[in-house]
């Protein structure tokens, strides 16, 4: 099972999920392990007067992506462990 977990860690680095906010005006792309890979921002938000809104939307988009990455991680872990919980210290984060 340890070999399967090592392979899973490598796979999670390659899986990307996208989270969005503001009706798609801001999106972030992260790996299934949570590493930030990219950010997309609608041009209309690139005004000094929109700075605070943009900051809030980035946080919301990141939170959305993290939730999606967590779902992917849980599904992959179930496949590797057969639904059994991992022993302490074998987390993938």
Per-residue pLDDT tens digits for 70-92: 999 888 888 877 766 655 555 55
- Inside any domain, residue 75: yes
What DSSP element (H or E) covers 31?
A: strand 26-31
Domain presence at residue 22: yes
Provide the domain count of the chain.
Answer: 1
Strand order in the sheet with 36-41: 16-21, 26-31, 36-41
Domain membership of residue 64 (yes or no) is: yes
pLDDT exceeds cutoff 90 at 11? no
pTM for this structure? 0.74
**What band does 34 get if pLDDT is binned at 50, 70 and 90?**
confident
d(CA 67, CA 50): 26
Mean pLDDT of the chain: 86
pLDDT at 28: 96
- Quickly state the pLDDT bin for 41 (edges 50, 70, 90): very high
């Amino acid at each position: 099972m340890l070999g399967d977990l090592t392979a899973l860690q490598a796979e999670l680095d390659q899986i990307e999920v996208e989270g969005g906010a503001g009706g798609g005006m801001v999106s972030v792309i992260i790996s299934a392990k949570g590493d930030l890979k990219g950010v997309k921002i609608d041009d209309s938000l690139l005004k000094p007067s929109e700075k605070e809104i943009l900051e809030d939307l980035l946080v919301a988009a990141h939170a959305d992506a993290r939730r999606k990455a967590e779902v992917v991680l849980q599904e992959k872990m179930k496949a590797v462990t057969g639904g059994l919980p991992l022993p302490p210290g074998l987390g993938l984060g």
